[in-house]
Amino acid sequence: MERGKGEEKEPCLEDGVAAMARCYRGFNPTAYLQYNYTPPRADFTRPDSIVPWKLACLHRAFTEGDVGGEMLVDVGSGPTLYQVLSGCEKFGRVVLTDFLDVNRTELKRWLGEEEGSFDWTPYLQHVCQLEGRGASAWQEKAARLRSVVTEILPIDVHKPSPLPAGSLPSSGADCLVSSFCLESVSPDLASFTRALGHVSSLLRPGGHLLLIGALGESYYMGGPGVRIPVVPLDEAQVCDSLRASGYTLLHLSIYTLPPDMRVGVDDVTGIFFAKARKA
Ligand code: SAH
Ligand code: ADE
C-alpha cells in the first residue's frame, strides 16, 4: 500500500525503536552482570580495569563541589548500582529507572537484601576507599543507598516524557546519571540525540548530567545469543549531541580498552565520561 508523504515519518522512526525493544526481550541480567561486572572488567586490583575507571570518574564528578541537591535520577539503571554509589551520599533521594521489568526486579532484590542478589560489596568497598573512609564503611554505604533509593520506575527514553506522569517534581531532578543506556537503545545517531533531549526534560535548568557510554560499539551481548545493536559513537558526536541538547560540557574523559578487556561480549573500543550542565 502506498503511503502519503505526511504519514511516512512516524512509522519509520517507530520501526527502528520497536526493533530495539524486540532485541531487549532476551536481555538476561545475570549474564550481563557476569560479562561486564566481574573480572577482568571489574578487577579492583587494576586501575586500568573498566569498572575502577568508571568509579573514579563518578567519584571525582560528585566531589568537585558543584553537584548536589535533593534528587538524583539514574536513567536506564539496568541491573546495576555502581553508578549511584558516589552520588547516593550527595542526594536525599535517588530514583532508579529501567525499561525492563527483569532489571527492576534485580535491583529490588538487592535493596530488599534478598538471597542470591548480585554482590556489590567489592564495589561499595572500593568507593569507600575513594572517599577516604576505609573499606569497612561499606556497610554504612549500603545502608545509605538502601535508605535513599525511594523508587525504581519504568522508563522509555524514546518517549518525549520518559517517566510515568507525576513521578518527578515539576521543576525536574537536580542531577541525572546515565550509563551505557542511550547508545545501546538507539538505532542511529539521530535517535540517540533525540533520546538525550527526552531525558533532559527530566533535569532542572542548571542541573548536572553525568553521561557514561560506549565509543565505537556496534553491538553488545545482553545474554547468551542475545546480540543487541548499538549506535557506534565517536567523541565529537557525543560532544555535538550534548551541545545540541542545550548542555555546557564541563569535563570529558576517554578510556581506551586495553586488549585484555576485549573479552568478546561486545566490540567497544573506548568509553566516554561526560559531565555537563543544563543551560
Ligand atoms: N546502566 C547500566 C545498564 C546499561 S544496559 C550499566 O551501566 O551497565 C542498557 C539498559 O537500557 C538496559 O538495562 C535496558 O533494559 C535499558 N533500556 C532498553 N530500552 C530502553 C528504553 N527504551 N529506554 C530506557 N532504557 C532502555
Ligand atoms: N559496560 C556495560 N555496558 C557496556 C556496553 N554496552 N559496552 C561496553 N561496556 C559496557
**Residue 10 or residue 21, greater confidence:** 21
- Work out whether the CA dihedral 235, 173, 72, 75 comes out positive or negative: negative
Q: Is residue 115 part of a domain?
A: yes
Q: Is residue 69 part of a domain?
A: yes
Q: Is residue 200 part of a domain?
A: yes
- Res 5: pLDDT: 46
Q: Is residue 6 part of a domain?
A: no
- How far, in Å, from the CA of 220 to the mean position of ligand 2? 7
- Find the CATH number of the domain harbouring 80: 3.40.50.150
- Res 2: pLDDT: 43
Mean pLDDT for all residues in the chain: 95
Cell of 179: 550509563
Ligand 1 atom 23: residue of nearest CA: 156
- Res 65: pLDDT: 96
Exposed/middle/buried for residue 94 (C-beta within 10 Å: 0-12, 13-18, 19+): buried
In angstroms, the CA 221 to CA 225 distance is 7
pLDDT in tens, 161-204: 999 999 999 999 999 999 999 999 999 999 999 999 999 999 99
Residue 9 has pLDDT above 70, yes or no: no
Pocket of ligand 1 (CB under 6 A): 24, 27, 76-78, 80, 83, 98-100, 103, 155-158, 179-181, 184-185
- How far, in Å, from the CA of 171 to the mean position of ligand 2? 31
H or E element: which one contains 18?
A: helix 5-23
Ligand nearest to the CA of 19: 1
- How far, in Å, from the CA of 236 to the mean position of ligand 1? 23
Neighbour count for residue 264 (Cβ, 10 Å): 7
- Work out whether the CA dihedral 186, 194, 15, 2 comes out positive or negative: negative
Q: Is residue 144 part of a domain?
A: yes
Atom of ligand 1 nearest to the CA of 77: 1
Residue ranges making up the domain that contains 126: 17-278
Task: Select from 14, 49, 15, 31 the least CA-distant residue to 255.
Answer: 49
Q: Is residue 131 part of a domain?
A: yes
Residue 115 has pLDDT above 90, yes or no: yes
- Res 273: pLDDT: 99
Q: Is residue 10 part of a domain?
A: no
- 3-state SS class at 177: strand
pTM: 0.95
Name the domain count of the chain: 1
Q: Transcribe 67-99 into DSSP letters.
A: --EEEEEEET-TT--GGGTTGGGTEEEEEEEES
Neighbour count for residue 158 (Cβ, 10 Å): 21
- How far, in Å, from the CA of 104 to the mean position of ligand 2? 18
Q: Is residue 159 part of a domain?
A: yes
* Inter-residue contact 142 to 124 (CB < 8 Å): yes
3-state helix, strand, coil in the chain (%, to 5): 40, 25, 35
How big is the CA angle at 105 (ends 144 and 155), to the nearest 5 degrees? 90
pLDDT in tens, 36-50: 999 999 999 998 999
Largest Cα–Cα distance in the chain?
67
Ligand 2 atom 3: residue of nearest CA: 180
H or E element: which one contains 169?
A: none
Neighbour count for residue 24 (Cβ, 10 Å): 16
Ligand 2 atom 4: residue of nearest CA: 180
